[in-house]
A and B are shown apart, each in its own frame.
Chain A
């Protein structure tokens, strides 16, 4: 079956760095998305990886290893507004998004 695993909840301190991991098992693979979702709002796009390696975009970076079925989202210089859920989603061979349950990130002062 198809499966996405990510931690349920993480806590970090303002100004610090946090890494949110995601492992996936899908029928075929056409890339992986990270989305941010604040409570009561729709998800917003953060990153898309289809090749191995690190993609950096400001304070956020996303890494992919296709051979390991693994990705992580790295958030630097954490701000209170980064408190949100972070959703990992992999694209299968039918170009459907397979969603993880999301990681709730709590930022403490």
Chain B
């Protein structure tokens, strides 16, 4: 099956610093990657959709200058949380679409970010 990895799995950073999260599709080419955020006891919230080689499309209310997304290749997308604040602490999950199925999204294991 299609495998998606994320790195790091958890990170603690100080307020005001930036954090980069990587999402990789290991055994297929991901034409589209999605970034989600999930707060405790809440459902997934789509932050942005990115296609390889083009700018990401951000959902309403998500600051594109704060959450920088780079989809540089068909197997790698990165999310950088700039000038992180405690309210950015959350579970960030990426998913990738491609491979044999056009519709299914394959999820990475998630990255838990804590901003102190």
Q: How far is the CA of A99 from the CA of B42 in the complex (A)?
A: 12
Chain B's interface size range is 10 to 19
Q: Is B60 an interface residue (CB 8 A)?
A: no
Query: Of A41, A42, A96, A100, which contacts B43 at CB under 8 A?
Result: A100
Query: Of A44, A48, A91, A96, which contacts B107 at CB under 8 A?
Result: A44
Q: Which residue on A lies nearest to B6, using beta carbons?
A: A42
Task: Please indicate the chain A residues that have their CB under 8 angstroms from the CB of B110 in the complex.
Answer: 40-42
Task: Please indicate the chain B residues that have their CB under 8 angstroms from the CB of A48 in the complex.
Answer: 101, 103-104
Instruction: Decide: A91 near B103, CB < 8 A? Known: A40-B91, A99-B46.
Output: yes
Q: Are A95 and B107 in contact (CB under 8 A)?
A: no
Interface residues of B in 66-116 (CB under 8 A from A): 91, 93, 101-110, 112
Q: Are B49 and A43 in contact (CB under 8 A)?
A: no
> How distant is A79 from chain B, measured CB to nearest CB, in Å?
22
Q: Are A95 and B43 in contact (CB under 8 A)?
A: no
Q: How far is the CA of A48 from the CA of B107 in the complex (A)?
A: 15
Task: Please indicate the chain B residues that have their CB under 8 angstroms from the CB of A97 in the complex.
Answer: 34, 46, 105
Q: Which residue on A lies nearest to B111, using beta carbons?
A: A42
Number of A-B contacts (CB under 8 A): 42
Q: Is A20 an interface residue (CB 8 A)?
A: no
Q: Are B49 and A96 in contact (CB under 8 A)?
A: yes
Q: Is B44 an interface residue (CB 8 A)?
A: yes
Q: How far is the CA of A96 from the CA of B49 in the complex (A)?
A: 9
Q: How far is the CA of A45 from the CA of B2 in the complex (A)?
A: 11
Q: Are A30 and B104 in contact (CB under 8 A)?
A: no
User: Could you list 12 A-B pairs, sorted by A, with CB under 8 Å?
Assistant: A31-B103, A40-B91, A42-B107, A43-B44, A43-B93, A44-B107, A45-B104, A85-B43, A87-B43, A99-B43, A99-B46, A101-B43
With contacts A33-B104, A43-B93, A95-B103 known, what are 13 further pairs, Cβ within 8 A?
A: A30-B103, A35-B107, A40-B91, A41-B109, A45-B104, A45-B106, A87-B43, A95-B102, A96-B49, A99-B44, A99-B46, A100-B43, A101-B42
Query: Which chain A residues have a beta carbon within 8 Å of chain B's beta carbons?
Result: 30-31, 33, 35, 40-45, 48, 85, 87, 91, 95-97, 99-102
